[in-house]
Amino acid sequence: MPENFSAAYAIAFCAGLYLPKRLAWWIPMAALLATDLLINVWFYHVQAFHISMLGNYAAFAAIIWLGTKFHATGSWLKLLSGGILGAILFYLVTNFAAWLQLPEYPKNLAGLIQALTVGTPGWPHTWEFFRNTLLSGGLFTGFFVGAMKLEEKLEAKEEAPTEAEPDEQPENANP
């Protein structure tokens, strides 16, 4: 998989969109924390939590918040746009946080532009991460929202009467 190609952006947006208020925050953030801890400790054998991860958590919280500002009854295209906006938000928040934290970036406008475009030497360009974030955010949001819209249509179809019920004859009617 390409770097930064993830369903996580879409999951965070859709959690804010579809889950009840409290669950919209707790479920994705708890899952993010649990997976970060497991992956860092068991796979990478590094410190379980590092201050540099706060930018990611802030970005996911912003995406969940964004999801709460949309309505599930909105059109597929509008909700897809929200998911893509969430991916853009993730890119901006995390790269701004990297600019603040990493000594490789000068703390001026040129350093911020470097953080938002080319990144640091030895890594893929930041715009490549951004491209993958946009593609995956749009793709997975489109799938998730499309599945919810399809499910709504199927439920509405099931609830609609299929045949007209015959009228009951009154008790005093003559046969």
- Rg for the chain (alpha carbons), in Å? 23
**101 or 174, which is more confident:** 101
**Digit-coded pLDDT (tens) for 65-119:** 999 999 999 999 999 999 999 999 999 999 999 999 999 999 999 999 999 999 9
Instruction: Give 151-160 pLDDT, tens digit per residue.
Output: 999 998 888 7
With beta carbons less than 8 A apart as the criterion, state whether 15 and 27 touch: yes
The stretch 125-152 carries a mean pLDDT of 95
Q: What is the mean pLDDT of residues 129-146?
A: 96
Residue 164 pLDDT = 54
**Mean pLDDT lowest among 5-14, 55-64, 90-99, 164-173:** 164-173
> Of 15-24, 33-42, 165-174, where does mean pLDDT reach its minimum?
165-174
User: Alpha-carbon distance 136 to 49, whole Å?
Assistant: 25
Burial 98-117 (b: 16+ CB within 10 A, else e): bbeeeeebeeeeeebebbbe
Name which of 24, 13, 23 is nearest 144 in CA terms: 13
- pLDDT higher than threshold 60 for residue 146: yes
Please give the structure tokens belonging to residue 108. 């001026």
Residue 139 main-chain phi, psi, to 5 deg: -60, -55
Question: What's the confidence (pLDDT) of residue 44?
Answer: 77
The whole model's pTM is what?
0.84
Mean pLDDT of the chain: 90
Say if CB 20 and CB 73 are below 8 A apart: no
Angle of CA points 119, 123, 127, to nearest 5°: 45
